Structure 1
Amino acid sequence: MGSINPSLLHIGSTLGALFMALMVIFIRLKASARPVTIRKIWIPPLGMSTGFAMFVVPDVRFPLWWAALAFLVGWFIFAYPLIRSTNFEQRDGQIYAQRSKSFAFILLGLLLVRTLLHEFINSYVTIPQSGGLFFILAFGMILHWRFFMYKRYKAMTSSEAQFIQS
């Protein structure tokens, strides 16, 4: 069986990431028309967590401290723009995510940074390892963003409950 050309693999992964970013933008724009629920907040990171199965394959593995560093970079740096662009509003007794004009630009900017970092990191690790590292970085980013959304949602629902009881 022949091997895959690394250049084609890189182009394919970049196009796949671009497609996923566009899908997230599209889904996010549609989601702002429906009320936010706890379930809708937690389903993306739970669904994404299945990606950790990739580490069953030995070619994807790397030192644990690399994983911790990737997670922390995602948590503290890459999540920040998403957190800043996420706001909720109450309408008709429901909580909705406000549409953010900057969300699409932030997501595409993060994709650009990821692509540039990918070029740098690929000179030190294999393509499967860099895929694993960027997966962990993205998981840290999304997990932090969703924790923020959950805390904001709970604060709004508890203040709404207190307002109704008054």
Structure 2
Amino acid sequence: MLQFGALNLQAISSISMIGMALLAIFVRTRASRKPVSAVKIAMPTIGMSIGFLMFTVPAFRIPAMWALLAFLAGLLLFSYPLIRSSKLEVQGGEVFIKRSKSFIFVLMGLLVLRIALHSYIEQYISIPQTGALFFLLAFGMLVPWRYVMLLQYRKLKVREFQQQKSL
């Protein structure tokens, strides 16, 4: 019975990961139609940080070295393609996310890589621990990506302000 439950949990986990990636692609394409703000850029990071509460449950706890390596992998490897494929631009005095076809391919590539890694890693550790590792990987990926977007946003707003001031 435990094997059946574990198999079910693995399938649900994989389907959820695919669903979240498709949702991210959908939200990202729709977001390019509306102006962004500093709050809209920062909120996903703040919202995702609530996920750290999972570590209060013993089943999700992992060794500190695993946690650090997962976070650093997201920070140093997985965030780079997102940063490179995300650009902001000013249109009509407001800042928008510039549509990028490469962003969809980056998300799909990261999804395939994450599914492959997930399938491999969950053979050796529990499903909750695998989830904890991939949460840290995703958080490590999100923080620098959103930070760079916030820097781009502020740079564009300052430039826009200076242009309006010189007129």
1:114 matched to which residue of 2?
Answer: 114
Q: How does 1:14-25 map to 2 (within 5 A)?
A: 14-25=14-25
> What secondary structure sits across from 2:101 in the alignment?
coil
Structure-1-length-normalised TM-score: 0.95
Aligned residues: 165
Q: How does 1:17-166 map to 2 (within 5 A)?
A: 17-166=17-166
TM-aligned CA deviation for residue 73 of structure 1? 0.5
Tell me how far apart the structure 1 counterparts of residues 100 and 10 of structure 2 sit (CA, whole Å): 31
Per-residue Cα deviation, 1:39-83 (whole angstroms, up to 9, x for no partner): 100111111111111111101101112111111100111111111
Per-residue Cα deviation, 1:74-102 (whole angstroms, up to 9, x for no partner): 01111111111101111110010011112
Bigger drift between 101-110 and 128-137 goes to: 101-110
Tell me how far apart the structure 2 counterparts of residues 5 and 77 of structure 1 sit (CA, whole Å): 33
TM-aligned CA deviation for residue 8 of structure 1? 1.6
Tell me how far apart the structure 1 counterparts of residues 19 and 34 of structure 2 sit (CA, whole Å): 23
Is it true that 1:8 corresponds to 2:8 in the alignment? yes
Structure-2-length-normalised TM-score: 0.94
Q: Could you tell me which runs of 5 or more consecutive residues in structure 2 were left unpaired when the two chains were aligned.
A: none
TM-aligned CA deviation for residue 28 of structure 1? 0.8
TM-aligned CA deviation for residue 127 of structure 1? 1.0
The one-letter code sitting in structure 2 at the alignment partner of 1:120 is Y
Tell me how far apart the structure 1 counterparts of residues 112 and 122 of structure 2 sit (CA, whole Å): 15
The one-letter code sitting in structure 1 at the alignment partner of 2:46 is L
> What secondary structure sits across from 1:5 in the alignment?
helix
Tell me how far apart the structure 2 counterparts of residues 153 and 121 of structure 1 sit (CA, whole Å): 37
TM-aligned CA deviation for residue 120 of structure 1? 2.0
> What secondary structure sits across from 1:30 in the alignment?
helix
Q: Could you tell me which runs of 5 or more consecutive residues in structure 1 were left unpaired when the two chains were aligned.
A: none
Q: CA RMSD in A?
A: 1.2
| Percentage identity across paired residues of the two chains | 46
Tell me how far apart the structure 2 counterparts of residues 39 and 82 of structure 1 sit (CA, whole Å): 19
